[in-house]
Amino acid sequence: MTHSAPAGGSTPQPGTAHPDADSARVVAVVVTYNREDLLRECLDALEAQERRPDAVVVIDNASSDASGEIADVHQIGADVVHLHRNVGGAGGFATGVARALVRHDADWVWLMDDDTIPRPGALAALVRTLENSPVRLSVLSSRAVWTDGRDHPMNTQRIRLGASAAEKRDAAQAGGRPIRTASYVSALLNGQDVRRLGLPYADYFIWSDDFEHTGRLLRHGRGLQVPASVVEHRTVAFSNAQTSPGSRFYFDVRNRLWALLRTTSFSPLERLLYGGRTVLGWAGQLARHRGSLLGIGVRGLLAALRRGPRPSPTVLASEGEAAADVRAIERAAGR
């Protein structure tokens, strides 16, 4: 079941390498699962933007609370997609990005979770950076803070290693700094690049889908973090996702290995560096949790070695119209 939002905005000119920032069509995508109060705040914040998105897509991941109903009736007039099952953040974002591109002709897709509350100038700052950039950009990311204003440890950006003086100068002129990956807690993706390189892998379910996908977009593209664009990431606690992962450690291990070993999103040197940091992080987690995560981690390791992620159209095959959108984008990207 879907509800279509008014078209709004301008139609992009075909064939443009980098849509003009002032007239570009920006579609926000919010993925929600059982967080009705936060979703309402997120949609309120989108409506209060100084530069409002031209359309809003909400992916309801088969919520059992009132999240879907809240999205349906919110005055922002979102296009709400009610999935039949919970396909995780990764499946939700793959579905949402595809819908933004296929059904809403997005030039740029602005991604966020339902616990992301953008401050009023968040999107305006991202668009202003596009206007000021002397080079074509593929990904822009906001500064994510916790409720007390501290930078959120869950959303630390990876700075591009070996960025040249020219890259740093271009970034500074635009009002940002060069990044290599970005978090989906407020990421603005170039729609043309997604059409060319494909969607995030739905099979990741949770964690590292944004690491791999933005890594793919930025392997040969430029990305910036924009400090003037601020969003609040309203997690329950001020902590990193890996602080107390429990059974989700399985996805941490499997998905990070998938990203580093089974894709071309990172160079051999980056695989070595990011892989080394990851292993050290896992060792620290195992020590802190006195080995209780060992069995879960081994299962993730074996799963990663057994196979890579399935194609997103296969994972989402039962979702009807949403699956058709995903197939269209992945087919166009040759995936």
In this predicted structure, the answer to whether residue 22 has a pLDDT above a threshold of 80 is: no
Give the global pTM: 0.91
> pLDDT category, 291, cuts 50, 70, 90?
confident
pLDDT at 242: 61
pLDDT at 1: 45
Q: Of 86-90, 136-140, 154-158, 251-255, give the lowest mean pLDDT range.
A: 154-158
Torsion angles phi and psi, residue 26, rounded to 5: -105, 125
pLDDT at 4: 41
Q: Of 5-19, 177-191, 236-250, give the lowest mean pLDDT range.
A: 5-19
From its phi and psi, is residue 206 left (phi > 0), alpha (psi between -120 and 50) or beta?
A: beta
Torsion angles phi and psi, residue 67, rounded to 5: -55, -45
pLDDT at 13: 36
- Are 239 and 153 in contact, with CB atoms under 8 Å apart? yes
pLDDT at 15: 36
Cα–Cα nearest to 182, from 242, 142, 124: 142
In this prediction, residues 129-156 reach a mean pLDDT of: 91
In this predicted structure, the answer to whether residue 11 has a pLDDT above a threshold of 70 is: no
> pLDDT category, 217, cuts 50, 70, 90?
very high
User: Counting beta carbons within 10 angstroms of the beta carbon of residue 77, is it exposed (0 to 12), middle (13 to 18) or buried (19 or more)?
Assistant: middle
pLDDT at 14: 36
pLDDT at 23: 85
Cα–Cα nearest to 246, from 288, 204, 214, 209: 288
81-116 burial, b at 16+ Cβ within 10 Å, e below that, comes to bbbeebbbbbbbbbbbbbbbbbbbbbbbbbbbbbbb
Under DSSP, the state recorded for 182 is -
pLDDT at 165: 92
In this prediction, residues 241-258 reach a mean pLDDT of: 88
In this predicted structure, the answer to whether residue 10 has a pLDDT above a threshold of 60 is: no
What's the CATH number for 2-241+311-332? Answer: 3.90.550.60
In this prediction, residues 152-167 reach a mean pLDDT of: 83
Which residue(s) pair with 188 in the sheet? Answer: 110, 140
Sequential DSSP letters for 208-273: SHHHHHHHHHHSSS-EEEEEEEEEEE--SSSS-TTSS-GGGHHHHHHHHHHHHHS-SSS-HHHHHH
- Are 64 and 34 in contact, with CB atoms under 8 Å apart? yes
In this predicted structure, the answer to whether residue 239 has a pLDDT above a threshold of 80 is: no
> pLDDT category, 12, cuts 50, 70, 90?
very low
Q: What share of the chain is helix, strand, coil (3-state, %, to 5)?
A: 45, 15, 40
Chain centroid to Cα 272, Å, comes to 24
In this prediction, residues 20-39 reach a mean pLDDT of: 93
In this predicted structure, the answer to whether residue 64 has a pLDDT above a threshold of 60 is: yes
pLDDT at 16: 39
